[in-house]
Chain A
């Protein structure tokens, strides 16, 4: 049983396009996160949601918009994709804010 799942696993798209990445957790957790891991493998928090409410919004361009239809899902929509958006995006969940976190397998986004 997959605890935190993401789709798609790979995403290749051209500059200027709009794309979405979906995340679902079946752990019953209240908190979900989006992280970005760049080419140097540095992992940085982007957003944190607790029970469908935005808790943390790090300094990311407003082209990135998270959407949480319910506490089991946190989707990431990206408008007007740029080359610099190429990275691996990880979704994670946890029982409460920044307690133990469980990560999804990641979505490798390549913008050409």
Chain B
């Protein structure tokens, strides 16, 4: 059974800092991994999708990496802004999607 863990559960940083969110999974036989953000009371917005054959994906200030053999992915956010405050979820897809519990990020002005 796939288990997905996200560390830390919550993170508070001052504006402008670079930060890393972590996602680990127990079964490395995956198709892909997807990072989402969820704003309070809202749905999930897809940020990045990394295929199992890829090592990283970039979109603007976001960079996601994948090390399938060690069961880890990281989401790097550069020059954080208050608008980045949200809960970030990773989903591991291997026949079905398994989500982590999320990291709640607060970026203080």
Q: A residues near B, CB below 8 A?
A: 4, 33, 40-45, 48, 56, 58, 90, 92, 97-106
Contact present for B43 and A48 (CB under 8 Å): no
How many angstroms from the CA of A45 to the CA of B2 in the assembled complex? 13
Contact present for B99 and A100 (CB under 8 Å): no
Chain B 4-45: CB-based contact to A (< 8 A → 1; otherwise 0) = 000000000000000000000000000110101000001111
Contact present for A41 and B91 (CB under 8 Å): no
Q: A41-B87, A48-B96 are in contact. Are A106 and B42 (CB under 8 A)?
A: yes
How many angstroms from the CA of A44 to the CA of B89 in the assembled complex? 12
Contact present for A100 and B101 (CB under 8 Å): no
User: What residue in chain B is nearest A92 (Cβ atoms)?
Assistant: B44
Q: A43-B89, A98-B31, A98-B93 are in contact. Are A103 and B43 (CB under 8 A)?
A: yes
Give the number of chain B interface residues (Cβ < 8 Å): 22
Contact present for A42 and B101 (CB under 8 Å): yes
A13 shortest CB reach to chain B, Å: 20
B80 shortest CB reach to chain A, Å: 21
Contact present for B31 and A43 (CB under 8 Å): no
Chain A residues contacting B46 (CB-CB under 8 Å) are: 100-103
Chain B residues contacting A101 (CB-CB under 8 Å) are: 34, 46, 91, 97
Contact present for B34 and A100 (CB under 8 Å): yes
How many angstroms from the CA of A6 to the CA of B49 in the assembled complex? 24
Contact present for B95 and A98 (CB under 8 Å): yes
Name the contact of B42 in the complex, choosing from A4, A44, A105 (C-beta under 8 A).
Answer: A105
Contact present for B43 and A43 (CB under 8 Å): no
A4 shortest CB reach to chain B, Å: 8
Q: A43-B89, A56-B96 are in contact. Are A106 and B43 (CB under 8 A)?
A: yes
Chain B residues contacting A48 (CB-CB under 8 Å) are: 96
User: What residue in chain A is nearest B51 (Cβ atoms)?
Assistant: A99
User: What residue in chain B is nearest A102 (Cβ atoms)?
Assistant: B46
Interface centre among A40, A41, A92 (most CB of B within 10 A): A41
How many angstroms from the CA of A92 to the CA of B46 in the assembled complex? 11
Q: A98-B31, A99-B32 are in contact. Are A104 and B43 (CB under 8 A)?
A: yes
